[in-house]
Chains A and B, each alone.
Chain A
């Protein structure tokens, strides 16, 4: 019989545009066919297929329950170290992203004005030809640097980067400078480690600086913290808000925003002045350990009390408790550390505290090899070298920001350069799985940058705010409908595989980038026939077949050699650089240091943002299940402050910042400092293509002023001050 249509053939048919849908209906569905052959689905097409979540970047393992060709339930995969059988609310709701009635299921080409929301359906051929011709035109006319590429953390990002490097543009925007630049830059400079591991197994004393682990959930890590607390570990949590993490903490310290580093420097002062550190470890491994007490001398608890509002005695006690817990004390590095322009110093102080306690040496400490480079040990398709890039990067790295790691970049500065046209004008923007209109600070300025563009193309599964202003929208298959490159986690390479057929004409990112590459004459950079071929090339060094991996959900990776008890650090001195020559040579303080952040004027508030457990950034508000179970997004204000201003709970208020205004409903609560207000990020969508999210809440990015930390390039998201009036 002729029912053995392979995935490869299906993709070719898919390329034949309009015919694809009709053909797909006659022939057996390839995903289901493959799943039946692998023994996942029974003859009726019902059963279970393992894959990986994409509702945030933690990437839990999942098991999808399939019935009649539809996903009916997702459960956590017990074999995956990130899920351990559990999924968070976002993971549980994932099938609603796939079945969102607002999915874009064919390529769309804009016919109205930008932002008018008028599009016409197009075939893949027409849409891809148009995108490729525009990209060629821009390259020929202005050079490849006039094309900006941006994408946010995803498994196909490696091929996105392949497209942009092959095209030859230096202009790459990621979410990183809006998120963790401060943390990563500080740990790279101090330890030579990008993302320090966290060890909860033996933790007795955990210090968290605004790491709202119980709401900004990373399923396994949230579980580990919870179990540590259950076991009796102490959690000291600094946050101006009484978050759900604060409610679980042993001690909640509602510190003044922007002053975390003063608190931490005073802790270092107490530990070093009183010689409470793990001396043996520090002597051996820490660069600058002899001078550290002198360098920290002025940061007394009494000094810190004036700045942070936390009593000196409390700081002293916490420092002593932290030191007493020795190797079992952990100062959590945090995640989204883009708070103030001094957040880099906060991270340096955290890195120093971990060095003083010797936590880095304990199992799972920040030297852990667990966080391997993505794709290490796996094969890759062959490709020619990338063209040489000579143009300056529009994001200012490294010519304005010498210490910002190039892979992190400064996205908000890239946007500003598009608006200013300096040092040169960008003309095109290729955006994949990212929503800069909603995520970058100062939305009006981002829309100005869009106006400067001759051409904007967006790859996404729904009409997000960025797609709404784009010229072409390419519909991506959802994470339950497509393959992505393998992800190594904890000695296994996990597979994201389609558990259902792509809906409409949606296609995987791997397919889209390859199609564009070929049309741009860059086919040599995309030497894979289709997604399965790409995965086979990745698996080649492991000697495992794709069929085995599909059946099991992962491939075993060869065990890495672990070093003995001696450590060398990937820093210039080979030691932990509490004192950094690199920082000194770049004109910055070589020691962790205090930098006074600006303060709100009389009548102004700190505008805080921070996650809720039911949403991921700007991409999930249209998920009906998450909409159903998340709290209405309101502006938190201290109840007494509100009362003093004649404001009542549920009043509509006008929030004004130096760059924007937002109408939002008030939540009068005791759970926030009187000098702060808080907004849940990701609301206030512009796109009418998001029928669930449209009209709900207000956008925090409308209000955020763009402030960049000169060392790490991180955006200071809590440094915007607002006034609040009754609307």
Chain B
């Protein structure tokens, strides 16, 4: 079954983005985001250099919809899920406000509503991939409105092909890499850039999914804890036996500790 489901993705091209923020307004309206919150923001170092040799490095940042989502991995109550066709979604009804996902996400995506307490319905918020639009044949709101096609939406494989073709067609224009193709096992937000990806605020990462490592460790924690408890119990038992023997052997208390 899952083999036939296609993985959707975004392709962002920093050379095309004019930082107009139509995507942000579109997202805010489409998803009815409160006036003091946002699911999309401008990332990157902005204008760098000295007049008149300048460069602008900005990108439209929102959830990367990772193939191996760390937020989902960190969530203790299963509020996150990864759809087979791409979207990493989040269920506010299950959220307990622990904010582990915020610490786990390498891209700083999930945001917490610090204005509210848990009782008031404090929740984590992030990009949803506009399921109400993509499952009705539309593009996500941010993509649909982009006047310069800096944001595109489609099948991940096709977008990757398009991205590599674009790099090949414009020698010297792009960094020869599609960010998100392999980073920590791949993301569904792919980025093309003319400046180093770190200048767009994207962390350097190897191809290995972070959560494979963390989950492998986490899976070992219970057996490890049980075994370690056994070891400690054994050590404690042995130690008690030894100290009892010592008490019997030497009644005088040791009176000085090594203190320099």
Contact = CB atoms under 8 A, between A and B. Distances in A.
B35 A670 contact: no
Contacts of B51: 242, 254, 638, 640, 670-674
A86 interface: yes
A671 B19 CA distance: 16
Given A628-B28, A669-B47, A670-B54, A614 B21 contact: yes
> Chain A: interface secondary structure?
mixed
Nearest to A613: B20
Contacts of A669: 47
Interface string A74-115: 111000000001111101110110000000000000000000
A454 B160 CA distance: 67
Contacts of B122: none
B29 interface: yes
Nearest to B40: A629
Nearest to A84: B147
Interface residues of B, number: 33
B56 interface: yes
B147 A247 contact: no
Interface in A236-254: 242, 244-248, 252, 254
Interface stretch (A214-222, A363-371, A395-403): A214-222
A89 B25 contact: yes
Contacts of B25: 89, 92-93, 625-626, 628-629
A206 to B, nearest CB: 15
B211 to A, nearest CB: 33
Interface string A57-78: 0000000000000001111100
A638 B51 CA distance: 8
A624 interface: yes
Given A75-B145, A86-B147, A93-B25, A215 B20 contact: yes
Nearest to A71: B29
A93 B144 contact: no
> Chain A contact residues (Cβ within 8 angstroms of B): what range?
35 or more
A625 B35 CA distance: 7
A640 B147 CA distance: 35
Q: For B19, B49, B52, B145, which residue has the most chain A Cβ atoms within 10 angstroms?
A: B145
A658 B153 CA distance: 53
Nearest to B37: A628
A92 B148 contact: no
Contacts, number: 123
A381 B157 CA distance: 57
B113 interface: no
Contact of B35 (A72, A254, A628): A628
Contacts of B35: 624-625, 628
A625 B147 contact: no
B55 interface: yes
B140 to A, nearest CB: 12
Interface in B31-63: 32, 35-36, 38, 47, 49-52, 54-56
A85 B146 CA distance: 9
Contacts of A674: 51
B16 interface: yes
B84 interface: no
A232 interface: yes
Contacts of B29: 72-74, 92-93, 95-96, 625
A602 interface: no
Nearest to A213: B18
Interface of B: 15-16, 18-22, 24-26, 28-30, 32, 35-36, 38, 47, 49-52, 54-56, 141, 144-149, 170
Given A247-B55, A625-B28, A670-B51, 11 more contacts: A86-B144, A91-B22, A91-B145, A93-B25, A222-B147, A226-B18, A244-B19, A246-B54, A628-B28, A669-B47, A674-B51
27 contacts: A72-B29, A86-B146, A86-B147, A87-B26, A88-B22, A89-B20, A91-B145, A92-B22, A93-B25, A214-B18, A215-B18, A219-B147, A222-B147, A223-B148, A223-B149, A226-B148, A227-B148, A242-B52, A244-B20, A245-B18, A625-B28, A625-B29, A628-B25, A629-B25, A640-B51, A670-B49, A671-B47
Interface of A: 72-76, 85-89, 91-93, 95-96, 214-215, 217, 219, 222-223, 226-227, 230, 232, 242, 244-248, 252, 254, 613-614, 624-626, 628-630, 638, 640, 669-674
